[in-house]
Amino acid sequence: MAECLVHLNLSSKPYFPVWREAFADARDRQLFSDGPFKMDFWGRMLFWTLEPPPKFRFSAPRNFQPGDIGAPEQVLASFLKTQENVLASLAAAKGLALDRLKIISPFARQVRYSVWSSFVVTAAHQRRHLWQAERVADVLLK
């Protein structure tokens, strides 16, 4: 279960500087909107792929695989702090045209999608691994 949380931390953190840069760009270009927002092609595809239960299984790139997870109590605290940062990023984006802001994926340089899609995909990815952690807990608690 701790490995799932560490993986989610590792896969959320690369977005923070990308999002900050996109938000600054949006303000400079005066790209404002209160939504509703639409996902683009890559967002829809990644959302469908990642939403639990898993439709496909694949290994995370090595740099997003948990190594030494450390003390379990620190894993949860770190995960919750990272979640606060994701929510703070979303709050910082309030009023911006999130579906008109394109970013390069921090995980696949050939993939460009909207900031809105990146938030939706991040949430789906997190649900996938929390679902996975729940399955592990179910087995351990039997």
Mean pLDDT of 5-34: 97
Polymer length of the chain: 142
Contact criterion met (CB below 8 Å) for 93 and 40:
no
Percent of the chain with pLDDT over 90: 78
Mean pLDDT of 20-49: 97
How does 6-26 read in b/e, with b if 16+ C-beta sit within 10 Å? Answer: bbbbbbbeebeebbeebbeeb
The confidence score (pLDDT) of residue 142 equals: 78
* Run of H or E including 76: helix 72-92
The whole model's pTM is what?
Answer: 0.92
